[in-house]
Amino acid sequence: MDTTGKVSMNARAPKGTADMLPDVARAWEHLQRTAQTLFARYGYEPIYTPIFEHTEVFTRGIGEATDIVSKEMYTFEDKGGRSITLRPEGTASVVRAALERNLVANGQSRKLYYAGPMFRYERPQKGRTRQFWQIGVEALGMAEPSADAEVIMLLMCFFEELGIPRANMRLLINSMGDEACRPAYREKIAGFIREHDAELCEECGRRAETNPLRAFDCKNPGCCKVMAEAPLLRDELCDKCAAHYAAVKELLDGLGVGYEEDPSLVRGLDYYTRTVFEVQVDAGLGSQNAIGGGGRYDRLMEEYGGPATPGLGFALGFERTLLAMEAAGVTVLGPALAEVYVARVDDSLAGAAFAIAQELRDGGIAAELDHQGRSLKSQFKQADRLGARAVVVVGPDELATGAVTLRDMSTKDETRVSLDTIAERIKTLLG
Ligand code: HAM
Protein backbone atom coordinates (compact mmCIF):
# COMPACT_ATOMS: atom_id res chain seq x y z
CA MET A 1 0.00 0.00 0.00
CA ASP A 2 1.22 3.50 -0.76
CA THR A 3 0.59 6.71 1.22
CA THR A 4 -2.80 7.26 -0.46
CA GLY A 5 -3.92 3.86 0.77
CA LYS A 6 -4.02 2.38 -2.71
CA VAL A 7 -2.48 -0.99 -3.39
CA SER A 8 0.56 -0.23 -5.52
CA MET A 9 0.87 -2.04 -8.83
CA ASN A 10 3.74 -2.75 -11.17
CA ALA A 11 3.12 -0.01 -13.72
CA ARG A 12 5.95 -1.04 -16.00
CA ALA A 13 5.54 -2.89 -19.28
CA PRO A 14 6.73 -6.52 -19.01
CA LYS A 15 10.44 -7.18 -19.63
CA GLY A 16 11.26 -7.46 -23.32
CA THR A 17 8.25 -5.45 -24.45
CA ALA A 18 8.05 -1.81 -25.39
CA ASP A 19 5.24 0.66 -25.87
CA MET A 20 5.24 1.86 -29.45
CA LEU A 21 5.10 5.59 -28.83
CA PRO A 22 3.85 7.89 -31.63
CA ASP A 23 7.18 8.41 -33.45
CA VAL A 24 7.85 4.69 -33.59
CA ALA A 25 4.20 3.82 -34.27
CA ARG A 26 4.31 6.23 -37.20
CA ALA A 27 7.38 4.43 -38.55
CA TRP A 28 5.56 1.09 -38.15
CA GLU A 29 2.61 2.45 -40.15
CA HIS A 30 5.04 3.76 -42.77
CA LEU A 31 6.55 0.27 -43.13
CA GLN A 32 3.10 -1.27 -43.47
CA ARG A 33 2.05 1.26 -46.11
CA THR A 34 5.30 0.72 -48.02
CA ALA A 35 4.72 -3.04 -47.86
CA GLN A 36 1.12 -2.72 -49.06
CA THR A 37 2.14 -0.73 -52.11
CA LEU A 38 5.25 -2.72 -53.02
CA PHE A 39 3.87 -6.19 -52.26
CA ALA A 40 0.74 -5.46 -54.34
CA ARG A 41 3.04 -4.92 -57.34
CA TYR A 42 4.13 -8.53 -56.90
CA GLY A 43 0.57 -9.85 -56.53
CA TYR A 44 0.37 -10.26 -52.74
CA GLU A 45 -2.90 -10.07 -50.77
CA PRO A 46 -3.21 -9.39 -47.04
CA ILE A 47 -4.08 -12.09 -44.51
CA TYR A 48 -4.60 -11.83 -40.75
CA THR A 49 -4.45 -15.00 -38.69
CA PRO A 50 -5.04 -15.22 -34.92
CA ILE A 51 -2.27 -14.08 -32.60
CA PHE A 52 -2.54 -17.40 -30.77
CA GLU A 53 -2.89 -20.92 -32.13
CA HIS A 54 -3.12 -24.45 -30.82
CA THR A 55 0.41 -25.18 -29.61
CA GLU A 56 0.72 -28.09 -32.03
CA VAL A 57 0.70 -25.72 -35.02
CA PHE A 58 4.12 -24.50 -33.89
CA THR A 59 5.57 -27.67 -32.38
CA ARG A 60 4.89 -29.62 -35.58
CA GLY A 61 5.58 -26.78 -37.98
CA ILE A 62 8.69 -25.19 -36.50
CA GLY A 63 10.03 -28.41 -34.94
CA GLU A 64 10.26 -29.69 -31.35
CA ALA A 65 14.05 -29.50 -31.26
CA THR A 66 14.33 -25.83 -32.32
CA ASP A 67 15.21 -23.15 -29.78
CA ILE A 68 11.91 -21.41 -30.57
CA VAL A 69 9.78 -24.42 -29.63
CA SER A 70 11.94 -25.88 -26.87
CA LYS A 71 12.75 -22.63 -25.04
CA GLU A 72 11.00 -19.55 -26.32
CA MET A 73 7.28 -20.08 -26.66
CA TYR A 74 4.63 -18.36 -24.58
CA THR A 75 2.44 -21.39 -23.97
CA PHE A 76 -0.48 -21.62 -21.56
CA GLU A 77 -3.61 -23.60 -20.94
CA ASP A 78 -6.81 -21.71 -21.70
CA LYS A 79 -9.97 -21.97 -19.61
CA GLY A 80 -11.10 -24.87 -21.77
CA GLY A 81 -7.96 -26.86 -20.96
CA ARG A 82 -6.43 -26.42 -24.45
CA SER A 83 -2.74 -25.77 -24.90
CA ILE A 84 -2.45 -22.39 -26.59
CA THR A 85 0.68 -20.55 -27.77
CA LEU A 86 1.21 -16.91 -28.70
CA ARG A 87 2.60 -17.05 -32.23
CA PRO A 88 6.41 -16.87 -32.35
CA GLU A 89 6.30 -16.31 -36.13
CA GLY A 90 3.78 -16.12 -38.96
CA THR A 91 4.54 -18.90 -41.43
CA ALA A 92 3.06 -21.80 -39.44
CA SER A 93 -0.20 -19.89 -38.93
CA VAL A 94 -0.54 -18.88 -42.59
CA VAL A 95 0.04 -22.44 -43.79
CA ARG A 96 -2.42 -23.74 -41.19
CA ALA A 97 -5.00 -21.20 -42.42
CA ALA A 98 -4.34 -22.02 -46.09
CA LEU A 99 -4.93 -25.70 -45.38
CA GLU A 100 -7.99 -25.17 -43.19
CA ARG A 101 -9.60 -22.71 -45.59
CA ASN A 102 -8.59 -24.50 -48.79
CA LEU A 103 -6.71 -21.53 -50.20
CA VAL A 104 -4.44 -23.54 -52.47
CA ALA A 105 -6.48 -26.62 -53.30
CA ASN A 106 -5.98 -28.34 -56.67
CA GLY A 107 -2.61 -26.91 -57.46
CA GLN A 108 -3.64 -23.26 -57.13
CA SER A 109 -1.16 -20.70 -55.92
CA ARG A 110 -1.62 -17.79 -53.56
CA LYS A 111 0.60 -14.94 -52.42
CA LEU A 112 -0.15 -13.63 -48.94
CA TYR A 113 1.37 -11.04 -46.64
CA TYR A 114 0.90 -10.11 -43.01
CA ALA A 115 2.10 -7.67 -40.40
CA GLY A 116 1.82 -7.89 -36.66
CA PRO A 117 3.34 -8.78 -33.30
CA MET A 118 5.19 -12.06 -32.62
CA PHE A 119 6.27 -13.44 -29.25
CA ARG A 120 9.46 -15.23 -28.23
CA TYR A 121 10.76 -15.62 -24.70
CA GLU A 122 14.34 -14.61 -25.52
CA ARG A 123 16.95 -12.73 -23.54
CA PRO A 124 16.22 -9.10 -24.42
CA GLN A 125 19.03 -7.05 -25.95
CA LYS A 126 19.45 -4.46 -28.69
CA GLY A 127 17.26 -5.58 -31.61
CA ARG A 128 15.85 -8.51 -29.65
CA THR A 129 12.61 -8.27 -27.71
CA ARG A 130 10.00 -10.68 -26.42
CA GLN A 131 7.20 -9.02 -28.30
CA PHE A 132 8.46 -7.88 -31.68
CA TRP A 133 6.81 -6.87 -34.91
CA GLN A 134 7.19 -8.58 -38.23
CA ILE A 135 6.07 -8.04 -41.79
CA GLY A 136 6.12 -11.24 -43.79
CA VAL A 137 5.05 -12.86 -47.04
CA GLU A 138 4.19 -16.44 -47.90
CA ALA A 139 3.93 -17.63 -51.52
CA LEU A 140 2.10 -20.96 -51.64
CA GLY A 141 1.88 -23.44 -54.48
CA MET A 142 5.02 -22.44 -56.39
CA ALA A 143 7.98 -24.79 -56.66
CA GLU A 144 9.97 -23.11 -59.43
CA PRO A 145 13.29 -21.37 -58.68
CA SER A 146 11.92 -18.16 -60.18
CA ALA A 147 9.56 -17.94 -57.18
CA ASP A 148 12.60 -18.06 -54.86
CA ALA A 149 14.41 -15.35 -56.80
CA GLU A 150 11.26 -13.20 -56.80
CA VAL A 151 10.76 -13.50 -53.04
CA ILE A 152 14.41 -12.63 -52.38
CA MET A 153 14.18 -9.63 -54.73
CA LEU A 154 11.03 -8.45 -52.99
CA LEU A 155 12.76 -8.45 -49.61
CA MET A 156 15.76 -6.55 -50.95
CA CYS A 157 13.56 -4.05 -52.81
CA PHE A 158 11.49 -3.47 -49.69
CA PHE A 159 14.54 -2.50 -47.64
CA GLU A 160 15.79 -0.28 -50.47
CA GLU A 161 12.39 1.37 -50.77
CA LEU A 162 12.70 2.26 -47.08
CA GLY A 163 15.99 4.00 -47.79
CA ILE A 164 18.48 1.37 -46.58
CA PRO A 165 21.28 1.50 -49.17
CA ARG A 166 22.12 -1.76 -50.92
CA ALA A 167 25.73 -1.27 -49.81
CA ASN A 168 24.66 -1.56 -46.15
CA MET A 169 23.06 -4.96 -46.69
CA ARG A 170 24.54 -8.41 -47.00
CA LEU A 171 22.34 -11.01 -48.65
CA LEU A 172 23.28 -14.53 -47.57
CA ILE A 173 21.87 -17.59 -49.32
CA ASN A 174 22.14 -21.35 -48.94
CA SER A 175 20.31 -24.54 -49.83
CA MET A 176 19.06 -26.87 -47.10
CA GLY A 177 18.40 -29.76 -49.48
CA ASP A 178 15.28 -31.87 -49.25
CA GLU A 179 14.02 -35.23 -47.97
CA ALA A 180 16.18 -36.98 -50.59
CA CYS A 181 19.54 -35.54 -49.53
CA ARG A 182 19.20 -34.00 -46.09
CA PRO A 183 18.66 -37.10 -43.89
CA ALA A 184 21.99 -38.64 -44.97
CA TYR A 185 23.75 -35.33 -44.45
CA ARG A 186 22.13 -34.94 -41.04
CA GLU A 187 23.55 -38.30 -40.01
CA LYS A 188 26.95 -37.27 -41.33
CA ILE A 189 26.93 -34.09 -39.24
CA ALA A 190 25.70 -35.99 -36.20
CA GLY A 191 28.66 -38.37 -36.65
CA PHE A 192 31.03 -35.42 -37.07
CA ILE A 193 29.72 -33.86 -33.84
CA ARG A 194 30.15 -37.15 -31.93
CA GLU A 195 33.72 -37.41 -33.22
CA HIS A 196 34.50 -33.89 -31.99
CA ASP A 197 32.40 -34.08 -28.84
CA ALA A 198 35.35 -33.19 -26.57
CA GLU A 199 36.01 -29.91 -28.41
CA LEU A 200 32.37 -28.78 -28.54
CA CYS A 201 30.16 -27.13 -25.92
CA GLU A 202 27.68 -29.28 -24.03
CA GLU A 203 24.71 -27.99 -26.00
CA CYS A 204 26.33 -28.80 -29.37
CA GLY A 205 27.15 -32.26 -28.04
CA ARG A 206 23.46 -32.77 -27.29
CA ARG A 207 22.57 -31.42 -30.74
CA ALA A 208 24.07 -34.54 -32.36
CA GLU A 209 20.94 -36.36 -31.16
CA THR A 210 18.34 -33.62 -31.54
CA ASN A 211 19.18 -31.05 -34.21
CA PRO A 212 22.75 -31.49 -35.47
CA LEU A 213 22.60 -28.76 -38.16
CA ARG A 214 22.05 -26.13 -35.46
CA ALA A 215 25.64 -26.64 -34.33
CA PHE A 216 26.56 -24.35 -37.25
CA ASP A 217 24.72 -21.54 -35.43
CA CYS A 218 26.58 -21.85 -32.12
CA LYS A 219 28.43 -18.65 -31.23
CA ASN A 220 30.97 -20.41 -28.97
CA PRO A 221 34.43 -19.76 -30.55
CA GLY A 222 35.56 -23.37 -29.97
CA CYS A 223 32.44 -24.71 -31.69
CA CYS A 224 32.84 -22.23 -34.59
CA LYS A 225 36.39 -23.50 -35.12
CA VAL A 226 35.32 -27.14 -35.18
CA MET A 227 32.24 -26.52 -37.35
CA ALA A 228 34.34 -24.63 -39.90
CA GLU A 229 35.83 -28.03 -40.76
CA ALA A 230 32.48 -29.86 -40.90
CA PRO A 231 31.21 -31.34 -44.17
CA LEU A 232 28.87 -28.96 -45.99
CA LEU A 233 25.41 -29.75 -47.31
CA ARG A 234 26.27 -27.76 -50.42
CA ASP A 235 28.59 -30.61 -51.41
CA GLU A 236 26.01 -33.29 -50.68
CA LEU A 237 22.89 -31.93 -52.39
CA CYS A 238 20.99 -34.37 -54.60
CA ASP A 239 20.85 -33.53 -58.31
CA LYS A 240 17.40 -31.96 -58.13
CA CYS A 241 18.28 -29.69 -55.19
CA ALA A 242 21.60 -28.74 -56.76
CA ALA A 243 19.85 -27.81 -60.04
CA HIS A 244 17.19 -25.82 -58.17
CA TYR A 245 19.81 -23.92 -56.19
CA ALA A 246 21.87 -23.24 -59.33
CA ALA A 247 18.79 -21.87 -61.10
CA VAL A 248 17.99 -19.52 -58.20
CA LYS A 249 21.54 -18.16 -58.27
CA GLU A 250 21.44 -17.75 -62.04
CA LEU A 251 18.26 -15.67 -61.79
CA LEU A 252 19.76 -13.51 -59.05
CA ASP A 253 22.92 -13.08 -61.14
CA GLY A 254 20.77 -12.06 -64.10
CA LEU A 255 19.21 -9.31 -61.99
CA GLY A 256 22.59 -8.19 -60.73
CA VAL A 257 21.70 -8.82 -57.07
CA GLY A 258 24.89 -9.34 -55.13
CA TYR A 259 24.75 -12.22 -52.66
CA GLU A 260 27.10 -14.32 -50.59
CA GLU A 261 26.73 -18.04 -50.42
CA ASP A 262 26.91 -19.06 -46.79
CA PRO A 263 26.95 -22.86 -46.51
CA SER A 264 26.56 -22.63 -42.74
CA LEU A 265 23.33 -20.62 -42.93
CA VAL A 266 20.84 -23.07 -41.43
CA ARG A 267 18.24 -20.73 -39.83
CA GLY A 268 16.37 -21.58 -36.66
CA LEU A 269 13.26 -23.25 -38.02
CA ASP A 270 13.00 -26.92 -39.03
CA TYR A 271 10.49 -26.48 -41.83
CA TYR A 272 12.99 -25.22 -44.39
CA THR A 273 13.85 -27.17 -47.53
CA ARG A 274 16.10 -25.98 -50.35
CA THR A 275 16.61 -22.19 -50.55
CA VAL A 276 17.19 -20.21 -47.35
CA PHE A 277 18.32 -16.61 -47.14
CA GLU A 278 18.96 -13.82 -44.68
CA VAL A 279 19.66 -10.10 -44.97
CA GLN A 280 22.18 -8.75 -42.48
CA VAL A 281 23.13 -5.16 -41.74
CA ASP A 282 26.12 -4.35 -39.55
CA ALA A 283 25.79 -0.58 -39.20
CA GLY A 284 23.75 0.30 -36.11
CA LEU A 285 23.01 -3.28 -35.08
CA GLY A 286 24.97 -5.40 -32.65
CA SER A 287 24.94 -9.17 -32.70
CA GLN A 288 21.28 -9.18 -33.75
CA ASN A 289 22.11 -8.09 -37.26
CA ALA A 290 19.59 -10.12 -39.30
CA ILE A 291 16.92 -7.67 -40.37
CA GLY A 292 15.00 -10.28 -42.36
CA GLY A 293 15.16 -13.83 -43.55
CA GLY A 294 13.21 -16.68 -45.02
CA GLY A 295 13.22 -19.64 -47.29
CA ARG A 296 11.33 -22.50 -48.84
CA TYR A 297 9.22 -25.01 -46.88
CA ASP A 298 7.89 -27.53 -49.40
CA ARG A 299 6.88 -30.13 -46.78
CA LEU A 300 5.15 -27.93 -44.22
CA MET A 301 1.58 -28.38 -45.40
CA GLU A 302 2.04 -32.15 -45.51
CA GLU A 303 3.32 -31.96 -41.93
CA TYR A 304 -0.15 -30.62 -41.04
CA GLY A 305 -1.84 -33.51 -42.87
CA GLY A 306 -2.53 -31.56 -46.06
CA PRO A 307 -1.57 -32.26 -49.66
CA ALA A 308 2.01 -31.74 -50.84
CA THR A 309 2.14 -27.98 -51.48
CA PRO A 310 5.33 -26.06 -52.03
CA GLY A 311 5.74 -22.74 -50.25
CA LEU A 312 8.24 -20.08 -49.43
CA GLY A 313 8.42 -16.66 -47.86
CA PHE A 314 10.25 -14.24 -45.63
CA ALA A 315 9.73 -12.12 -42.56
CA LEU A 316 11.50 -8.96 -41.54
CA GLY A 317 11.75 -7.57 -38.05
CA PHE A 318 10.45 -4.05 -37.57
CA GLU A 319 12.71 -3.11 -34.63
CA ARG A 320 15.90 -4.13 -36.42
CA THR A 321 14.78 -2.58 -39.71
CA LEU A 322 14.21 0.68 -37.87
CA LEU A 323 17.74 0.49 -36.40
CA ALA A 324 19.11 -0.09 -39.92
CA MET A 325 17.11 2.88 -41.21
CA GLU A 326 18.39 5.10 -38.40
CA ALA A 327 21.97 4.02 -39.13
CA ALA A 328 21.41 4.98 -42.77
CA GLY A 329 20.14 8.42 -41.67
CA VAL A 330 16.55 7.76 -42.73
CA THR A 331 13.94 9.44 -40.58
CA VAL A 332 10.25 8.87 -40.96
CA LEU A 333 8.47 12.16 -40.61
CA GLY A 334 4.80 11.99 -39.84
CA PRO A 335 2.26 14.38 -41.31
CA ALA A 336 1.87 17.66 -39.39
CA LEU A 337 -0.53 17.11 -36.53
CA ALA A 338 -2.59 20.05 -37.77
CA GLU A 339 -2.56 21.81 -41.12
CA VAL A 340 -4.73 24.55 -39.70
CA TYR A 341 -5.35 25.79 -36.19
CA VAL A 342 -8.67 27.44 -35.41
CA ALA A 343 -8.02 30.05 -32.72
CA ARG A 344 -10.58 32.24 -31.02
CA VAL A 345 -10.15 35.67 -29.55
CA ASP A 346 -12.20 34.80 -26.46
CA ASP A 347 -14.20 31.94 -25.02
CA SER A 348 -17.56 33.37 -26.09
CA LEU A 349 -16.53 32.33 -29.62
CA ALA A 350 -15.72 28.72 -28.67
CA GLY A 351 -18.90 27.37 -30.30
CA ALA A 352 -18.18 29.19 -33.58
CA ALA A 353 -14.56 28.00 -33.61
CA PHE A 354 -15.74 24.44 -32.92
CA ALA A 355 -18.17 24.56 -35.88
CA ILE A 356 -15.51 25.99 -38.21
CA ALA A 357 -12.99 23.29 -37.26
CA GLN A 358 -15.59 20.60 -37.94
CA GLU A 359 -16.40 22.11 -41.34
CA LEU A 360 -12.72 22.19 -42.29
CA ARG A 361 -12.27 18.56 -41.20
CA ASP A 362 -15.34 17.57 -43.22
CA GLY A 363 -13.59 19.22 -46.16
CA GLY A 364 -10.53 16.98 -45.72
CA ILE A 365 -8.31 19.46 -43.85
CA ALA A 366 -6.45 18.49 -40.67
CA ALA A 367 -7.75 21.16 -38.28
CA GLU A 368 -7.10 21.47 -34.55
CA LEU A 369 -8.50 23.80 -31.92
CA ASP A 370 -8.19 24.45 -28.22
CA HIS A 371 -10.26 22.53 -25.67
CA GLN A 372 -8.56 23.93 -22.59
CA GLY A 373 -9.49 27.61 -22.58
CA ARG A 374 -6.02 28.80 -23.60
CA SER A 375 -5.30 32.48 -24.20
CA LEU A 376 -4.99 33.65 -27.80
CA LYS A 377 -1.22 33.87 -27.38
CA SER A 378 -0.93 30.30 -26.20
CA GLN A 379 -3.31 29.12 -28.93
CA PHE A 380 -0.77 30.54 -31.42
CA LYS A 381 2.05 28.77 -29.59
CA GLN A 382 0.11 25.54 -29.78
CA ALA A 383 -0.48 26.08 -33.52
CA ASP A 384 3.28 26.44 -33.97
CA ARG A 385 3.99 23.33 -31.93
CA LEU A 386 1.59 21.28 -34.06
CA GLY A 387 3.21 22.52 -37.27
CA ALA A 388 0.06 24.33 -38.54
CA ARG A 389 0.63 26.18 -41.80
CA ALA A 390 -2.25 28.57 -41.17
CA VAL A 391 -4.31 29.89 -38.28
CA VAL A 392 -7.94 30.85 -38.62
CA VAL A 393 -8.63 33.60 -36.04
CA VAL A 394 -12.26 33.83 -35.00
CA GLY A 395 -12.96 37.36 -33.71
CA PRO A 396 -16.29 38.97 -32.76
CA ASP A 397 -16.26 41.81 -35.33
CA GLU A 398 -15.29 39.68 -38.32
CA LEU A 399 -17.69 36.93 -37.31
CA ALA A 400 -20.56 39.43 -37.20
CA THR A 401 -19.94 40.00 -40.94
CA GLY A 402 -19.60 36.26 -41.70
CA ALA A 403 -15.81 36.36 -41.93
CA VAL A 404 -12.63 35.30 -40.09
CA THR A 405 -8.96 36.26 -40.29
CA LEU A 406 -6.63 33.84 -42.02
CA ARG A 407 -2.97 34.03 -41.02
CA ASP A 408 -0.33 32.36 -43.17
CA MET A 409 2.17 31.11 -40.59
CA SER A 410 5.17 31.20 -42.93
CA THR A 411 4.68 34.70 -44.43
CA LYS A 412 2.74 36.08 -41.41
CA ASP A 413 0.29 37.66 -43.89
CA GLU A 414 -3.21 38.11 -42.58
CA THR A 415 -6.33 38.38 -44.73
CA ARG A 416 -9.99 38.64 -43.97
CA VAL A 417 -11.81 35.70 -45.56
CA SER A 418 -15.51 35.00 -45.85
CA LEU A 419 -16.64 31.85 -44.05
CA ASP A 420 -18.16 30.59 -47.32
CA THR A 421 -14.77 30.38 -48.98
CA ILE A 422 -12.48 29.60 -46.04
CA ALA A 423 -12.00 25.90 -46.88
CA GLU A 424 -11.08 26.71 -50.49
CA ARG A 425 -8.68 29.47 -49.42
CA ILE A 426 -6.94 27.14 -46.99
CA LYS A 427 -6.60 24.40 -49.62
CA THR A 428 -4.95 26.90 -51.96
CA LEU A 429 -2.62 28.03 -49.19
CA LEU A 430 -1.70 24.41 -48.38
CA GLY A 431 -1.00 23.78 -52.07
P1 HAM B 1 13.06 -15.47 -38.37
O2 HAM B 1 14.40 -15.40 -38.97
O3 HAM B 1 12.90 -16.26 -37.14
O4 HAM B 1 12.11 -16.03 -39.52
O5 HAM B 1 12.53 -14.02 -38.09
C6 HAM B 1 12.50 -13.04 -39.11
C7 HAM B 1 13.00 -11.72 -38.58
O8 HAM B 1 12.27 -11.35 -37.43
C9 HAM B 1 14.44 -11.74 -38.13
O10 HAM B 1 15.32 -11.56 -39.21
C11 HAM B 1 14.48 -10.54 -37.18
O12 HAM B 1 14.62 -9.34 -37.91
C13 HAM B 1 13.09 -10.58 -36.57
N14 HAM B 1 13.15 -11.17 -35.22
C15 HAM B 1 13.15 -12.47 -34.90
N16 HAM B 1 13.17 -12.63 -33.55
C17 HAM B 1 13.19 -11.39 -33.02
C18 HAM B 1 13.22 -10.86 -31.68
N19 HAM B 1 13.20 -11.66 -30.60
N20 HAM B 1 13.25 -9.51 -31.52
C21 HAM B 1 13.24 -8.70 -32.59
N22 HAM B 1 13.21 -9.13 -33.86
C23 HAM B 1 13.18 -10.46 -34.08
C24 HAM B 1 10.78 -16.24 -39.37
O25 HAM B 1 10.12 -15.78 -38.48
C26 HAM B 1 10.15 -16.99 -40.52
N27 HAM B 1 8.71 -17.13 -40.25
C28 HAM B 1 10.41 -16.27 -41.83
C29 HAM B 1 9.79 -16.96 -42.99
C30 HAM B 1 8.64 -16.64 -43.61
N31 HAM B 1 10.28 -18.04 -43.57
C32 HAM B 1 9.46 -18.40 -44.54
N33 HAM B 1 8.44 -17.55 -44.56
The predicted-structure confidence for 98-124, as pLDDT tens digits, reads as follows 999 999 988 899 999 999 999 999 999
Answer for the pair 174, 235: CB distance below 8 angstroms, yes or no.
no
> pLDDT tens across 244-259, in order?
999 999 999 999 999 9
Do residues 60 and 167 both lie within one domain? yes
Instruction: State which ligand 1 atom lies nearest to the alpha carbon of 92.
Output: 27
Q: Are residues 116 and 170 in the same domain?
A: yes
Same domain, 347 and 242: no
Phi then psi dihedrals of residue 333, to 5 deg: -90, 135
Single-letter amino acid code for the residue at 26: R
User: 314 CB less than 6 Å from ligand 1?
Assistant: yes
Tell whether 83 and 150 lie within a shared domain: yes
Same domain, 138 and 108: yes
Do 142 and 271 lie in one domain? The reply is: yes
**Are 166 and 301 within one domain?**
yes
According to the model, what pLDDT value does residue 3 have? 65
Q: Which of 113-117, 284-288, 366-370 has the lowest mean pLDDT?
A: 284-288
> Is the domain of 87 the same as that of 132?
yes
Mean pLDDT of the 345-361 span: 97
| 314: nearest Cα among 172, 183, 428 | 172
Summarize the confidence of residues 160-172 as an average pLDDT: 97
Ligand 1 centroid to Cα of residue 142, in Å, is: 22
> Of 327, 356, 384, at which residue does a domain stop?
327
Residue 136 Cβ contacting ligand 1 at under 6 Å: yes
Probe residue for ligand 1, chosen from 31, 62, 72, 118 as the CB with the greatest number of ligand atoms within 8 Å: 118
Residue 207 lies in a domain: no
Q: Does the beta carbon of 294 lie inside 6 Å of ligand 1?
A: yes
Atom of ligand 1 minimally distant from the CA of 321: 12
- On whether both 310 and 350 belong to a single domain, the answer is no
**Whether residue 292 has its Cβ less than 6 Å from ligand 1:** yes
The answer to whether residue 384 is domain-embedded is yes
Domain that holds residue 39: 9-181+237-327
pLDDT at 334: 79
Number of domains observed in the structure of the chain: 2
Average pLDDT, the chain: 95
Domain boundary among 299, 327, 355: 327
Of 113, 149, 118, nearest to 132 (Cα)?
118
Check whether 62 has a pLDDT greater than 80. yes
In percent, how much of the chain has pLDDT > 70?
Answer: 99
With respect to residue 204, please indicate whether it lies within any of the assigned structural domains.
Answer: no
Task: For 48, list phi and psi in degrees, rounded to 5.
Answer: -125, 115
- Check whether residue 390 and residue 241 sit in a common domain: no
CA distances from 75 to 63, 78, 259, 276, 425 (A): 15, 10, 37, 28, 58
Specify the pLDDT at position 332.
87
Q: Is residue 378 part of a domain?
A: yes
End-to-end CA distance of the chain: 57
Q: Which of 20, 87, 89 to mutate to test the pocket of ligand 1 (most atoms within 8 A of CB)?
A: 89
Return d(Cα 346, Cα 374) in angstroms, integer: 9
Residues 151 and 279 occupy one common structural domain: yes
pLDDT at 182 over 80: yes
According to the model, what pLDDT value does residue 426 have?
A: 97
Residue 426 Cα to ligand 1 midpoint, Å, equals 46
In a domain, 332, yes or no: no
Q: Is the pLDDT of residue 284 over 90?
A: no
The count of residues in the chain is 431
Residue 4 pLDDT class (50, 70, 90 cuts): low
Atom of ligand 1 nearest to the CA of 136: 30
- Counting ligand 1 atoms within 8 A of each CB, the residue from 44, 132, 279 with the most, and so the one to mutate, is 132
CATH, residue 345: 3.40.50.800
| CA 128 to ligand 1 centroid distance, Å | 10
Report the nearest-CA residue for atom 1 of ligand 1: 293
217 ligand 1 Cβ < 6 A: no
Neighbours of 193 (CB within 10 A): 23
List the one residue out of 57, 83, 81, 79 whose CA is nearest residue 68. 57
User: Would the pLDDT of 192 be above 90?
Assistant: yes
Q: Is residue 395 part of a domain?
A: yes
Rounded distance from Cα 123 to ligand 1 centre (Å):
15
Residue 5 pLDDT greater than 70, yes or no: no
Residue at 423 is within a domain: yes
369, 424: one domain: yes
Tell me if 197 is assigned to some domain.
no
Domain of 122, CATH number, reads: 3.30.930.10
Q: What is the pLDDT of residue 75?
A: 98
